[in-house]
Structure 1
Amino acid sequence: MKIPYPIFSDQKILVLEKNDSQRTTLIMYLKVIGVGTVVEAANGHQALALLDGNAQEFDFTICDLRMDGMDGIEFLRAAPRAKIGRVIFSSAVDDELLSSAEEIVRGYGIRLSGRLSKPIDFLYLKSLISPVLNPQKAEYVYRKRLQFQCWTKEDLSIALRRGQFVPYFQPKLDFLTGAPVGVEILARWMHPDHGVIAPSQFIPLMESAGLIDQLTEDLLCNALGCTKKWYSDRPEISISINASPLTLENIAIPNRWLAIVNAHQVNPERITIEVTETALPKNYRGLLESVTRLHMHGFSLSLDDFGTGYSSLQQLSQMPFNEVKVDQSFIAAARKYKRSTVILRSMVDLAKKLHLRTVAEGIEYETDVTLFQELGFDVGQGFHFAKPMSGEDLVRWLLIEKMTPRRVPNVISIPNISQLAKPDRGHKAFMWG
């Protein structure tokens, strides 16, 4: 007898599984759950042919990795992104190999929903596709999402002129005291027709269109204006802003940014420039001059996404950084793999020997706090502490935080601000968050 789960009735799922028995079990489970449409394929070639001849888009694709002729990674590389939806790996390979496969597939621009071990666990399968049990999946499956737009330069220019790009702020907390020590400025596009657009939708286009300098300066001006509402009361909280190497290679930038900061009567020592390798600079000498002069004028410098960029160690040796910010991919991997923990510990040891502050981004769970305290990180940033929020919500968050007793060294008593702001979780991007 079918168990009624009406919330699944509109879902469409593609099952790609080599083993006949496993495929039959998966299909049976999905039908019991109440999934409206289930389509099956025994190998990658069959699945590609099916997608080629089928106009419908799937919400999820459950994909076996080990298949004859065309394995799961090959299939996902060739599959049309718009049709396969989120991907759930179904595999018996070991965790480290599966983790490598996930990293490869993310590089294809595919969204992963989770992994199923064999034999299949019915309840876990249900949780992966359930909009009730997993709100993140609900946002994907049921929210009408804006597809990636190829905005024109004119679209972006008009949005800049109309002030549609606004700063959001995400707090950074000291691991030892639990106190906020800074906020990162993150860009959001308040589109009149499409609502809030995540930075991944427009930052690369801004860079290629030559508009990234103007966006950065507009956000800096707006953010400094917002800080007037709390800066005098919380002078210990710094502001950090991401800067593309394409912006920093312009040797006129230090004077322009110093003029902006002075006009807002803010001490440059309270501002950190996060150098983010979203693109390779054409003029490395100009980049080096800009960051050196900014540091001479009092700005702090942070090497963002440390360990993942084109030349992190080279930059660390040549540029006057005060801080390294470890990419959240390392943070996520350290939750599961000892090897990643060893790498993180080495990063922290290197930073301490160079007298650099260490920031861990992507802190999402209470257990992360304990782990990264033990590894020796100085500062944490992530959804466990607070989501990115508007300037008005930040003022309220700081007020609540100030009135909330802290527990040392554990910082989990910091209030959850999800009621105050509901930005797109998105992926890490410029102003990028």
Structure 2
Amino acid sequence: MSGQSAINESSILNGLRRIFRGDATASGDFTLRDPIPLPNGPKITGASSAEIAEIATRLDSAKSKSESSFQWENKAEFSLVSLDQVGAFDRFFEDKTFEGQGDDPVIFAVGRPSREFTAYLLCKFTQNSVLLTSGRARMLLNRIRQISSDRPPLGRRPFEGDSLFDVLAEGLRATTLQISATKSRADFETLANSFLFHAAYNTDAAARIGLEAMFRPQAIQRVRRSQDGSLDAPRQTYDADLVHHYLMGVAAEIPLLEYLAYYHIAEHFFEKIFNEDLISQVRSGITDPSFSARRNKDIQSIVKIVTRIKGQIKDEGGVNEQRALQLVLDRFVSIPRLVADLDAYDASLIDYYANSDVPFAGAGKANIRTHDEEAVRGAIAKRIYKVRNALVHAKEGELPKYAPFAHDEVLAREIPLMRFTAERIVIAQGKVL
């Protein structure tokens, strides 16, 4: 889990302090100031240092870790994200176990996360200051209060558990897939994806490996241009088609769909801008003082312009999209404003684009902070276009190519560049009210 904060006894204990009213003892125990009464009788008074240490050791012993999974010798656990708005996957598979066949059967279990995975999610949640000050923290506390009620929330099964981490797991409402085997295995992610395909094929309930939005900083730390109560009425009207693409991008939970929605805003103008550029080149040629309609070579120079561009159109199966994208940027996007938007969102992004390729797309670096705006637009157009191509073309044997979900973390860093570019295009089309 490169770049992630360490998960250890100290971070787990600190996470408990941030969610619950309680104190740590000298021995490392965590004691609740107000014990949590459970419907089945006993009260949870906290978490012992031994339990916290055992969980931290178990997490540390995983032989493979990622943002959404832990894998041990003969067991693995994956965080799942339902791919429909109403959570059909969670409802259908909640607390179900499936055992494979053969002498060494693999067991798949879907449901509430283990105590180890719960501790990991707790740390992810509490190490994000944006989440802690959002309504999600209050929602988590309200869910925990509901656990002590004799009447569970509508649609939820009665709580079962005797650990503070069980309470947390119930409150987080995360879903994981736990896979266990009798022997050591190295293919748990393959098994997980096979299970998800099998589930979707048979039930139309789809989920993917990944973290819910509440645990992913990029999904929460959107650009906030207005504080609550200070939003003005719009002063411009905007093209409906562009607005619809933009809304689709903002609402998308899958990075691929988000990126393409914003790309379609630029693509909306490709043919118009490309044709205007062709007309401009021809007009510039025939209005040049040195041009003469009586000289064959001057006529041929105009024919060459048209032939060259028509050849590009034939090769591309349409307009030259990378060239058209750069023309759209030339027409509508102010580089200083784009730099300001990126800096306001994440001050590290411009350096990232200048120093990092996009491996799955074969897209090179883009130095956006240089004074040569034409070069900047060319680099941006090339990077954006190559990323777009990797998303929509996935022929076997062609490298590089985008792997759904596996490359989402890298793709997420490309979205701000595409989004803020798209916003500049939409705004440039606005008409004053």
Q: What is the TM-score normalised by the length of structure 1? A: 0.25
- Please tell me whether Structure 1 or Structure 2 has the larger radius of gyration of its CA atoms: 2
Q: Considering fraction of residues, name the structure with more helix.
A: 2
